[in-house]
Copies of this chain bind each other. A is one copy, B any other.
Amino acid sequence: MSDKARLIDIARALNISTTTVSRALNNKSDINAKTKEAVLHLAKQLDYQPNKLAISLRKKMSFKSIGVILPNVGHYFFSTVLKGIMRNAHLNNHLVIVGESAESNSQEQKLVEEFVNYGVNGILIAPGRESKNEDITALLESKRTPYVLMDRIFPNYTGNYVLSDDFKGAEIATTHLIENGKRRIAHIGSLHNCSVGYQRFSGYLSALDNNGISKDDSIIRECLTTKMEEGYKATQELLALENPPDAIFTVTDDVAAGVLDYCHRHQIEVPKQLAVVGYSNSELSSIIKPKLTTIEQKGERMGELAFDFFFASYKDKETIHQKTFESKLIVRESSVSIK
C-alpha cells in the first residue's frame, strides 16, 4: 500500500489525466492553480514517490555505474583504494556505489547479488578474509558482469585483478632486517588462509631460507585480527620466550604500532634491541615514534587501475587484465639505527 501510488492513481482519483498530474508535480507553467493544489495534496496523502526508472527511461537518460565492495571502508588502505577508484570512475562518468562486507562472506554475496540485480556495469571487489572463490565469481560470471579482484585473490584465480606483491614485499622486508644484522626474526601475521596473510608469511620464510636461517615456529604468530592490540600481546609473548627475537616483521603497520607501543612501555630500545618492520606505509608509519620502516602499498594507484581494468574488460571481455604492483621498502627509524 505504501510505495505503490502511481501517476494514474492520482489522475483517476481526481478525474483528470496523467498528463495534468505530471504537470502539477513538476511545477510546469500551464496549469490551473486549483488543480495543481489538489494534485499536490493527494500526492502527499498517497505518499506518491515518482518512479525514477520510468522517468529516466522516458528521458532517454543512461547511467553507468560500478559497484565497489570493500571489507572495511574506515580502514586506511581501503579508503585510499576507494579514492583511486572514484577518481577514474568520475573521469569516465561512472557512478560509484559502495558496499561494506565487514569481512563477511555472506554479506559479500548479498552485495554482489544486489549490485548485479541493480545492473551495475561492473564490480570491483576486495574480498574479505573469509571470502570463497566460487561463491563470488560464479554469480558474477553467470550474470556476465565484468569484475576485478583487488588486493586479495583466490588460489587458481585466472580473472582480472590488481594486487600488490605481498610475497616479494615480505621477502624484502625480512631481508632488510637480516642485512642489518638481525638473525632471530619473528613474524606476527594474519591468518594463513587469506592470500595476503599467506603471501606475506611465505615471503618472510623465503627470505629466511635464502639466508640460511631456519624457520622457528615458536616466533611465528598467526592472528585473527590485524590490530594494534594483537601486536602488543604477541610482542609480550615473544619477548617472554627463553630465546626472544631480535626483530619482528609484522603483517600490517597497525600490528607494528602495537609492537612499538609495547617496546615503549617496557623500555625496549628500537631498533637496537628489537628491530621492527611493518606493512602498508599507512599514515601512522611516519607519525609513530620511532618512525616505522614499512613496505609501501599504493592503494590509490591500485584503485585507479582496478577501474581501468574494469573499463577495458567492459569493452572486451576476452582479454584478461592482471597487475601486481611491486613492493617498495621505506626505511625509517624502527629498523636501522640512525647514524
Contact = CB atoms under 8 A, between A and B. Distances in A.
Interface of A: 3, 47, 51-57, 61-63, 65, 72-76, 79-80, 82-83, 86-87, 90, 95-100, 114, 117-119, 228, 257, 261, 264, 283-284, 287-289, 300, 315
A228 B83 contact: no
A47 B316 CA distance: 9
A61 B53 CA distance: 9
Contacts of A99: 86, 90, 96
Nearest to A300: B74
A88 to B, nearest CB: 12
Interface majority SS on A: helix, strand, loop or mixed?
helix
Contact of A53 (B3, B53, B86): B53
In the complex, the 5 A-B pairs of residues with the closest C-beta atoms, listed nearest first:
A52-B119, A289-B289, A53-B57, A79-B79, A74-B83
Contacts of A56: 53, 118-119
B118 A95 contact: yes
Contact of A97 (B47, B96, B284): B96
Instruction: Output the residue of A55, A65, A73 with the most chain B CB within 10 A.
Output: A73
A257 B287 contact: yes
Contact of A287 (B55, B80, B100, B261): B261
A143 to B, nearest CB: 10
Given A61-B117, A95-B97, 14 more contacts: A51-B57, A52-B63, A55-B119, A56-B119, A63-B118, A65-B97, A73-B79, A74-B79, A74-B80, A83-B100, A90-B99, A90-B100, A97-B97, A288-B288
